[in-house]
């Protein structure tokens, strides 16, 4: 009888310790207090929307609500792993950075010891000009030359196509934003 009670108590202790390790940890308890978490990507950074997945619902209460996505895990956003554009970025998120919940929002963060290199601000890229060369073709007015990697990612060849990107999921002129996962990513069609 005593042996059966001991077995039950040990089983209950083991089960409760397993549950606590699987539970989502509040943002203010991972790696110290919330004050220890410093957002990595400044809001005025040229790639802020790309890295922080601003097209997604990034509200969170703990790190379990946040996930990394994109071809090279460059996007931090709420929910399921977000898609990416698979284009080569001039700036990379440092490997030591974390994607998690800071002040109720999924963002890249560090302990303050990391910094993100500046990106070239180019509000009107030359690739948006009419007739821009894109491989062997010239893009139509309003289209950009979009560079991307296929399913092999950065280890494979880089492709080019003309199109209108829609990173925020919005298109003009009655077109629909469609994500081509092994192609140029979200584009208007």
Using the predicted structure, report yes or no on whether residue 161 has a pLDDT greater than 90: no
pLDDT tier for residue 168 given thresholds of 50, 70 and 90: confident
pLDDT tier for residue 110 given thresholds of 50, 70 and 90: very high
Question: Number of helices and strands (H, E) in the chain?
Answer: 2, 11
Residue 70 domain-assigned (yes or no) = yes
CB atoms within 10 A of CB 64: 15
Same domain membership, residue 140 and residue 106:
no
Per DSSP, the three-state class of 66 is strand
Same domain membership, residue 135 and residue 100:
no
Using the predicted structure, report yes or no on whether residue 106 has a pLDDT greater than 90: yes
Same domain membership, residue 130 and residue 97:
no
Q: How many Å apart are CA 86 and CA 183, to the nearest integer?
A: 8
Same domain membership, residue 84 and residue 47:
yes
Residue 99 domain-assigned (yes or no) = yes
% of the chain beyond a pLDDT of 90: 20
Same domain membership, residue 96 and residue 51:
yes
40-85 per-position pLDDT tens digit: 999 888 888 889 888 888 899 999 999 998 878 889 999 887 776 6
Q: How many Å apart are CA 129 and CA 106, to the nearest integer?
A: 35
Give pLDDT, residue 2. Answer: 55
14-23 per-position pLDDT tens digit: 443 333 333 3
Alpha helices in the chain (DSSP H): 2-22, 48-51
118-129 per-position pLDDT tens digit: 876 544 444 444
Give pLDDT, residue 33. Answer: 53
Total domain count for the chain?
2
Same domain membership, residue 133 and residue 86:
no
pLDDT tier for residue 34 given thresholds of 50, 70 and 90: low
Strand partners, 26: 62
Same domain membership, residue 100 and residue 45:
yes
Same domain membership, residue 133 and residue 70:
no
Residue 20 domain-assigned (yes or no) = no
Q: Spell out the residues 6+ positions from residue 40 whose beta carbon is closer than 8 angstroms to its own.
A: 93, 94, 97, 107, 108, 109, 110, 114, 115, 116
Q: Which domain holds residue 70?
A: 34-110
């Amino acid at each position: 009888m005593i042996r059966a009670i001991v077995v039950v108590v040990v089983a209950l202790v083991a089960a409760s310790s397993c549950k606590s390790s699987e539970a989502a940890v509040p943002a203010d308890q991972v790696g110290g207090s919330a004050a220890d978490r410093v957002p990595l990507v400044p809001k005025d950074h040229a790639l802020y929307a790309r890295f922080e997945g601003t097209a997604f619902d990034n509200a969170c209460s703990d790190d379990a609500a946040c996930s990394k996505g994109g071809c090279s895990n460059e996007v931090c956003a709420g929910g399921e792993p977000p898609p990416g554009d698979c284009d080569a970025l001039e700036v990379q998120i440092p490997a030591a950075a974390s994607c998690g919940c800071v002040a109720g929002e999924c963002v890249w963060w560090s302990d303050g010891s990391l910094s993100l290199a500046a990106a070239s601000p180019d509000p009107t890229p030359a690739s948006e000009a009419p007739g821009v060369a894109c491989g062997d073709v010239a893009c139509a007015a309003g289209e950009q030359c979009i560079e991307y990697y296929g399913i092999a990612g950065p280890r494979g060849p880089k492709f080019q196509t003309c199109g209108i990107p829609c990173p925020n999921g919005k298109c003009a002129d009655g077109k629909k934003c469609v994500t081509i996962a092994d192609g140029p990513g979200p584009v208007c069609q």
